[in-house]
Amino acid sequence: MKTQKLALLLLILIFSVQAQSAILVEDGGKPVSRTSQSYSKEAVDGDSFRSLRRAGLGLSLSGPVGSFGALLDLNFSSRWAGSLAYGGSLDFQSVVVQAKHYFTSTRFAPYFGFGYTRWFKKKSGVALEDTTPSYLFTEFLSDEQKSEGGFAENLLFSSIGVQFFQTKGEWAGYSFGLEVNLLMDPVDLVVAPTGAFNMFYYF
């Protein structure tokens, strides 16, 4: 429930930022829309977008976060970015660290990523019969973890994805992307494929 509330609050915050950008402000006695002022951060392509807008807040569905999560995306350069996430599902919580490299300067930018995610749940003493996502239960959890009702899984992952950047206009700053992930337990050498949908607003 904590993760759901955090995701909802972040979604409200993102759209509040967009709404604030349309409020009229005074400039020399004349009303000026903040939306028009935000055009100073308009970009011509993906590279200039990531150079102008260094930080973004977003939401992630599925993938390394589990079922859903809140994201902080940081553009270190025009081609390199990093993400921090907190999420999980109804069964567990997760923390994620990811690095991404964009291959092109286009608004639809393909990228490669790699990172680390930790999925964890306190022992409840009640045996687990299933999890969401289901591959956590079938691929990663041991019989002991299932019977104890708790676990802490440290997973590495790689990602291939594409991200769209809205570089101009009233919706400049928004972005969304799709990615395919391969999760791996480095101890047991077990892997599981998954995918994620991400959406952001960059400042």
| Cβ neighbours of residue 167 closer than 8 Å, sequence gap 6 or more | 42, 43, 44, 45, 46, 48, 49, 107
Distance CA 116, CA 155 (A): 6
Q: Where are the alpha helices (DSSP H) in 53-170?
A: 134-135, 143-148
Q: What are phi and psi of 97, to 5 degrees?
A: -125, 130
pLDDT at 41: 80
Q: Percent helix, strand, coil in the chain (nearest 5)? A: 25, 50, 30
Q: Does domain 2-202 have CATH number 3.40.640.10?
A: no
Residue 181 contacts residue 63 (beta carbons within 8 Å): yes
pLDDT at 103: 97
Residue 131 contacts residue 89 (beta carbons within 8 Å): yes
Helix (H) or strand (E) holding 87: strand 80-88
| Rg (the chain; Cα; Å) | 19
Indicate the pTM of the whole model: 0.81
pLDDT at 2: 52
pLDDT tens sequence for the chain (203 residues):
555 555 555 555 555 555 554 444 444 555 444 444 455 688 899 999 999 999 999 999 999 999 999 999 999 999 999 999 999 998 899 999 999 999 999 999 999 999 999 999 998 889 999 999 999 999 999 999 999 999 999 999 999 999 999 999 989 999 999 999 999 999 999 999 999 999 999 99
Distance CA 74, CA 112 (A): 15
